[in-house]
Amino acid sequence: MTLFIGILFGFLIICAIGASFSKNLLNSILIFMSYSLVMSIIWILLQSPDLAITEAAVGAGVTTVLFVVTLKKIQAIIKEDEGREEKEDE
Amino acid sequence: MSRKLTQEQYERTFSYRFLRWLDGARDPYLGQVEMKPQKPFSEDGQTIAQRQEDRARMRERVYDLENNILVRVFRRFYRVFSLLFCVFLVVMLLAAVSWLPTFGQADNPANNEVAARYIEDGLEETGAVNIVTGMILDYRAFDTLGESHVLFIATCTVLILLRADRKDDREQLWSNDRVYEPKNDIILQTVAKILVPPILIFGIYVILAGHLGPGGGFSGGAVIGAGLILYLNAFGFAKTERFFTQKTYRRMSFAALACYSLAKSYSFYTGANHIESVIPLGTPGAILSSGLILILNICVGIVVAGTMYTFYVMFRKGGY
């Protein structure tokens, strides 16, 4: 069990660092979502299922959706073929 | 019945002037304050060119890194100082953490008589099996009242910031709504058809069983909100607006907040000493037990679910 918690905490730290250092904003959001998922498992292991449900619904669900919608609004999600064209131009 | 006033009589009444002042139709300075007539602002082309040239020359001189020593020194100083500040902050925070008492020790300051009272007498006094819910919705229901109002104010702020007020703005946003998404995606629709009912039922269960097990108004409301967002994504606004529009949201959150405020705002008048509840607590463990907690849970759940859904709709197209 300690090993399992250790693995989870390691994954949590990796996710936190990855989310802040990732160059692609969409990748950042997805890493942040997995951070929330791991965090909700850790909440269960720390015996607070109330928080686990909230973290899973708000952190992994709604916040991610809001982030993705915002990215779409500011047109930061480039379609694959459009991105390729830009690279070819360079 | 009062008799009808003529237009002239009406214009002399207080309410007419007040309403005009409220609408901003009357400028209180016009005709009241002495004002100097102002000349319209104008500039000929030469002055504009002169100003732009001055500005360009200034920019060149300031950002001429090879000759301007001050800028170079400032930039280096800025980098070093920001690094030093980060290190200082990290060391400070780590030092503060090392001074905290060890987690889970029996003689921690958090384990005082308040916690003991909650744990020992909580079931008897609130009737909730889940002590956490008993705490936040009975002993500290007043705090939770503030929290649900904070949520409502957050929604109002999002509405103010993101709502498309002008008609052409709104039409443009709505026509651009699903440019990058597949319309009527069969996989998404099938998954949503299977998943949305269990998600909504789970959310309702979490709300209703908040005093019996883990969960409560906030988490259940968030689950329901997420389910509604999934449904909206799969089937579009035409389907959701059959049952959830801005009017629905306004009425729902108003009713829920008013219900909560009526039930718990007496703390404003009584202070920390709560009034003895007249509602029987019922048998602990039954779904109709623990007094007002079930009703308050439902109120919070309604507010949170509506808030989540409204956030998403506002972010996506700025209005229902």
pLDDT, tens only, B141-166: 788 888 888 888 888 888 888 877 77
Residue B5 pLDDT: 78
Q: Across the interface, do A61 and B132 touch by the CB < 8 Å criterion?
A: no
Q: B222 to chain A: nearest residue by CA? A: A57
Count of alpha carbons within 13 Å of B91, Cβ hemisphere only? Answer: 6
Across B231-235, B258-262, B269-273, least confident range:
B269-273
pLDDT, block means (10 residues), chain A with 90 residues: 89 92 90 92 88 88 88 72 49
The mean pLDDT value for B65-90 works out to 89
Domain range holding A8?
2-89
B181 pLDDT higher than 60: no
Q: Is B105 helix (H, G, I), strand (E, B) or coil?
A: coil
Burial of A50 (0-12, 13-18, 19+ CB in 10 A): buried
Please tell me the distance from the alpha carbon of residue B126 to that of residue B296, in angstroms, as a whole number. Answer: 13
Residue B92 pLDDT: 96
B1 pLDDT higher than 60: no
Contact between B271 and B277 (Cβ < 8 Å): no
Whether A5 and chain B come into contact, CB under 8 Å, resolves to no
Domain count within chain A = 1
**Torsions phi, psi for B131 (to 5 deg):** -65, -35
Nearest to B289 by CA among B218, B172, B209, B226: B209
Across A21-35, B15-29, B63-77, least confident range:
B15-29
Residue A90 pLDDT: 42
A-chain residues near B216 (CB < 8 A):
50
Residue reference for tokens 């992994």? A60
With cut-offs at 50, 70 and 90, classify the pLDDT of residue B94: very high
Question: Which runs of consecutive H residues, i.e. helices, occur in B63-166?
Answer: 69-98, 113-126, 131-134, 141-162
Residue A89 pLDDT: 47
Nearest to B149 by CA among B320, B264, B59, B26: B264
B-chain residues near A73 (CB < 8 A):
315-316
**Torsions phi, psi for B74 (to 5 deg):** -65, -40
Residue B186 pLDDT: 86
**Torsions phi, psi for B309 (to 5 deg):** -65, -45
Residue B61 to residues B55, B58, B288: CA-CA distances in angstroms?
Answer: 10, 5, 77
B47 pLDDT higher than 90: no
- CA B213-B216-B217 angle, to 5 degrees, is 165
Whether B103 and chain A come into contact, CB under 8 Å, resolves to no
**Torsions phi, psi for B142 (to 5 deg):** -65, -40
Q: When comparing pLDDT for B265 and A89, which is higher?
A: B265
Domain boundaries along the sequence of chain B: 51-96, 129-173+180-317
Nearest to B223 among A57, A66, A77 (CB): A57
ipTM for the predicted complex: 0.80
The mean pLDDT value for B64-76 works out to 81
Contact between B199 and B226 (Cβ < 8 Å): yes
- Mutation for testing the B interface, residue in A29, A44, A58 having most B CBs under 10 Å: A58
Give the other-Cβ count within 10 Å of B129's Cβ.
18
A30 Cβ contact partners less than 8 Å away, ≥ 6 residues apart: A64
Residue A81 pLDDT: 53
Classify B245 in phi/psi space as left (phi over 0), alpha (psi -120 to 50) or beta.
Answer: beta
Question: Which runs of consecutive H residues, i.e. helices, occur in chain B?
Answer: 7-12, 14-23, 45-62, 69-98, 113-126, 131-134, 141-162, 167-175, 186-208, 217-235, 237-240, 246-264, 267-270, 293-317
Report how far apart the first and last C-alpha atoms of chain B are (Å, whole number). 40
Please tell me the distance from the alpha carbon of residue B17 to that of residue B193, in angstroms, as a whole number. Answer: 56
A-chain residues near B180 (CB < 8 A):
72, 77, 79
Q: Over chain B, what is the mean pLDDT?
A: 82
Interface of B with A in 257-316 (CB under 8 A): 308, 311-312, 315-316
Residue B103 to residues A6, A50, B97, B99, B141: CA-CA distances in angstroms?
Answer: 17, 20, 11, 12, 27
Nearest to B237 by CA among B319, B120, B118: B319
With cut-offs at 50, 70 and 90, classify the pLDDT of residue B127: confident
Please tell me the distance from the alpha carbon of residue B227 to that of residue B233, in angstroms, as a whole number. Answer: 10
Residue A18 pLDDT: 92
Alpha carbon B152 to its chain centroid, in Å, reads 5
Q: When comparing pLDDT for B147 and B197, which is higher?
A: B197
> pLDDT tens-digit profile of B221-255?
999 999 999 998 888 887 888 888 888 888 888 89
Nearest to B222 among A54, A77, A79 (CB): A54
B-chain residues near A52 (CB < 8 A):
214
Give A50-55 contacts, CB < 8 A, sequence gap 24+. A50/B130, A50/B132, A50/B214, A50/B215, A50/B216, A50/B219, A52/B214, A53/B206, A53/B214, A53/B215, A53/B219, A53/B220, A53/B223, A54/B218, A54/B219, A54/B222
Contact between B291 and B281 (Cβ < 8 Å): yes
